[in-house]
């Protein structure tokens, strides 16, 4: 331990002396290094004892001075690093909170939009039992967050509400002059009002959606939800709090504080003179909230808002690209800096010990210095490389997570929407004419339901397969399989699933139909899991169909001399984009508007688990691409067709 301290301190001394001589040379204090060496040599000859003392004193002086200097620099660097880490943590926390609020508002807005676009409302029916029922049906799923839902006609008169349906005190109430009413009329778009205070002291905001007649474009009125702030902001300060000393501030879209630990701030605008007079940097405080209301996240250090200096981070909560709230978090900077006090104290003690040790051990240090420096550089490079690798992995993980959420949401929403649409139409048809409890459904609608249900089933199956692969619970049930039969089955299945419009444009051909494989009459046997291999064939053919607008898709099999069976799926589509080639078989790799990118990933894992390989390339003619995979085939004699083997991967 002592030797390491000595080595570290000596390195600091040599660096400091070299730096000082260079600085002195630039300032013309020392004539040149040669003159300096001559002067030192002459002084050593004439007064050796005194010279040694002076040199030793200079070494100690330089050591103390520069050690203190670099200690301070190191402390500042540590403080800056910890400060930036805390800023990032707070920014991420604020972003999570803002997304939570935006998601909840979006859910409520979806209910309002559904009411506004309902057939009853579109026909001008803004009141009555059917409208009351419609409001109740949409209110119940969100009643934990919404106090009530009501409708205004084009004259701003309330015609229906979920509050006290038997009490008509609200019906006929005029809402003229309310900010959200006027703004909704002008913008013909969703509007979130400023905050209001109710008669019982409860603060709330109103989210409105315009009722516009689809055919004429006429403004018929609006649908609105009364949202208590206590409900919509209930998550703040709870599970997202980064530390106990954190204070949370929230403003509405006008910049008025609606949530704060200091009650004096609530109800005041962030530009209030009383607030700004408390601060040492009021301009930065104003700019922070001004830019946050404009949709930009910002952070500052502010003193005077509370009893101590604090790091303040603000983040906007948006609804349909419009800022509706600003959420800010503040933590004391002293809490950030206090983390390094123990480290700093230990380093200072070590510095004093090193000064004494270097005076007694200077000769030993010189011997170890060169070797230690090289070791340190290697270690620093090693650690730096490890950190860079870890950082890239984290970035890749974040990208994959974001891609997964976007893709999964899109893939789930696409089949669900037509299913819900047909269900709504059938339900409406049943209400208008019950038909003795029976409803006729067309074959086209039935096909649509079946196709989208299969799409949901396929998505859930793919996600389950990925989960099994990554948890090492993926199982194979191997047996001897005639690969040509599997190809024919996959082609038949693919043809049956083609839409009518594509059946006219695409031909799926088996290159070996009616002909022996590889000039041999024996079957092309492969020891494999027939279900999984069928899954791979189906994935590759489906992929070819998706990217082929018109033309042929050919499936060709062959037996190679190296003992492998090779299957080629050749399409005549637009080919593979060059940038997709390196990550074609990776999870969630896709450039199309549809699809999760899981099919090729699963195909690769299945083929590799059989000891085979899979690859893809663009066709030589410049049109289309070829996806191929190779599997080991049966040797002479082999196992019988009835024997089965189970394996885990």
Q: Hey, which residues does 643 pair with through a beta bridge? A: none
The structure tokens listed for 623 are 């049109």
39-48, 330-339, 600-609, 640-649 — most confident range: 600-609
Contact 541, 602 (CB under 8 A): no
DSSP three-state, residue 110: helix
CA dihedral 275, 281, 282, 283 (to 10 degrees): -170
DSSP string of 5-30? HHHHHHHHHHHHHHHHHHHHHHTTSS
Burial class (CB in 10 A: 0-12, 13-18, 19+), 596: buried
**In which order are the strands placed within the sheet that holds 645-648?**
525-528, 475-482, 645-648
Q: Convert 174-226 into a string of H (helix), E (strand) and C (coil).
A: ECCCCHHHHHHHHHCCCEECCCEECCCCCEEEEEEEEEECCCCCCEEEEEEEE
Mean pLDDT score of the chain: 76
The sign of the CA dihedral 415, 417, 420, 422 is negative
- 24 confidence band (pLDDT: 50, 70, 90): very low
pLDDT in tens, 388-443: 888 888 887 677 666 666 666 656 666 677 777 777 777 777 777 766 667 777 77
Instruction: Look at residue 238 and tell me whether its pLDDT is greater than 50.
Output: no
pLDDT at residue 166, as a whole number: 45
In whole angstroms, how far apart are CA 184 and each of 181, 210, 215, 285, 326?
5, 6, 19, 31, 21
* 297 CB neighbour count, 10 Å cutoff: 17
Instruction: Look at residue 343 and tell me whether its pLDDT is greater than 80.
Output: no
Burial class (CB in 10 A: 0-12, 13-18, 19+), 381: exposed
Among 451, 455, 467, 444, residue whose Cα is nearest residue 413 = 455
Instruction: Look at residue 16 and tell me whether its pLDDT is greater than 50.
Output: no
Q: Which of 7-11, 72-76, 116-120 has the lowest average pLDDT?
A: 7-11
Instruction: Look at residue 631 and tell me whether its pLDDT is greater than 90.
Output: yes
The structure tokens listed for 2 are 């002592």
CA dihedral 302, 306, 311, 316 (to 10 degrees): -90
Instruction: Look at residue 70 and tell me whether its pLDDT is greater than 70.
Output: yes
| The model's pTM | 0.42
Instruction: Look at residue 171 and tell me whether its pLDDT is greater than 60.
Output: yes
pLDDT in tens, 99-124: 888 888 888 989 999 999 999 899 88
Among 69, 78, 76, residue whose Cα is nearest residue 16 = 69
- Give the DSSP H or E segment for 90: helix 48-116
Contact 560, 631 (CB under 8 A): no
For β-strands 257-259 and 298-302, DSSP reports them as unpaired
For β-strands 625-632 and 322-332, DSSP reports them as unpaired
- Could you give all domains of the chain from N- to C-terminal order, each with its CATH number? 2-82+343-386 (no CATH), 105-232 (3.30.450.20), 474-648 (3.30.565.10)
The structure tokens listed for 425 are 């139409």
pLDDT at residue 415, as a whole number: 66
């Amino acid at each position: 331990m002592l030797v390491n301290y000595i080595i570290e301190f000596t390195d600091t001394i040599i660096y400091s002396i070299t730096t000082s001589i260079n600085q002195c040379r630039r300032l013309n204090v020392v004539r040149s290094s040669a003159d300096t060496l001559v002067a030192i040599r002459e002084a050593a000859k004439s007064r050796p004892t005194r010279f040694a003392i002076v040199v030793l004193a200079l070494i100690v002086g330089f050591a103390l001075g520069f050690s203190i200097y670099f200690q301070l620099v190191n402390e500042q660097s540590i403080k800056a690093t910890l400060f930036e880490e805390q800023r990032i943590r707070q920014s991420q926390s604020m972003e999570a909170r803002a997304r939570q609020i935006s998601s909840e508002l979006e859910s409520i807005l979806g209910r309002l939009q559904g009411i506004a676009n309902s057939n009853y409302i579109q026909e001008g029916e803004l009141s009555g039992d059917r409208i009351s029922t419609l409001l109740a049906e949409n209110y119940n799923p969100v009643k934990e967050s919404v106090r009530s839902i009501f409708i205004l006609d084009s004259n701003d008169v309330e015609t229906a509400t979920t509050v006290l349906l038997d009490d008509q005190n609200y019906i006929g109430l005029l809402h003229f002059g309310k900010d959200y009413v006027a703004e909704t009329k002008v913008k013909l778009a969703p509007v979130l009002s400023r905050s209001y205070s109710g008669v019982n002291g409860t603060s709330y905001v109103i989210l409105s959606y315009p009722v516009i007649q689809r055919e004429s474009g006429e403004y018929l009125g609006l649908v609105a939800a009364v949202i208590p702030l206590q409900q919509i902001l209930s998550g703040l300060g709870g599970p997202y709090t980064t530390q106990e000393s954190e204070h949370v501030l929230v403003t509405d879209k006008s910049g008025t504080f609606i949530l704060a630990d200091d009650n004096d701030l609530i109800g005041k605008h962030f530009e209030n003179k009383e607030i700004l007079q408390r601060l040492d940097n009021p301009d930065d405080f104003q700019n922070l909230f001004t830019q946050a209301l404009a949709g930009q996240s910002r952070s500052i250090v502010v003193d005077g808002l509370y009893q101590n200096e604090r790091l303040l981070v603000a983040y906007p909560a948006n609804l349909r690209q419009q800022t509706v709230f600003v959420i800010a978090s503040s933590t004391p900077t002293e809490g950030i800096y206090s983390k390094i006090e123990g480290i700093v104290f230990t380093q200072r003690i070590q510095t004093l010990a090193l000064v004494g040790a270097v005076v007694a051990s200077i000769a030993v240090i010189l011997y170890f210095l060169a070797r230690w420096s090289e070791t340190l550089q290697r270690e620093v490079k090693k650690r730096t490389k490890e950190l860079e690798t870890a950082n890239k992995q984290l970035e890749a993980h974040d990208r994959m997570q974001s891609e997964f959420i976007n893709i999964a949401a899109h893939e789930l929403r696409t089949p669900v929407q037509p299913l819900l649409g047909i269900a709504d139409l059938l339900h409406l048809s049943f209400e208008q004419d019950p038909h003795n409890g029976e409803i006729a459904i067309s074959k086209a609608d039935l096909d649509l339901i079946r196709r989208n249900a299969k799409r949901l089933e396929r998505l859930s199956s793919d996600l389950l397969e990925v989960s099994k692969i990554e948890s090492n619970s993926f199982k194979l049930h191997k047996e001897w399989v005639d690969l040509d039969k599997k190809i024919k089955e996959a082609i038949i299945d693919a043809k049956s699933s083609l839409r009518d419009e594509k059946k006219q444009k695409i031909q799926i051909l088996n290159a070996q139909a009616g002909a022996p494989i590889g000039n041999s009459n024996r079957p092309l046997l492969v020891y494999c899991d027939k279900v999984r291999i069928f899954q791979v064939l189906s994935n590759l053919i489906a992929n070819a169909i998706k990217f082929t607008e018109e033309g042929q898709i050919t499936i060709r099999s062959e037996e190679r001399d190296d003992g492998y069976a090779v299957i080629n799926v050749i399409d005549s589509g637009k080919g593979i984009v060059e940038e997709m080639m390196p990550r074609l078989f990776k999870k969630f790799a896709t450039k199309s508007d549809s699809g999760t990118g899981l099919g090729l990933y699963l195909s690769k894992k299945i083929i590799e688990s059989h000891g085979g390989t899979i690859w893809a390339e663009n066709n030589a003619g410049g049109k289309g691409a070829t996806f191929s995979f190779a599997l080991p085939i049966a040797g002479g004699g082999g196992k019988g067709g009835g024997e089965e083997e189970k394996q885990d991967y």
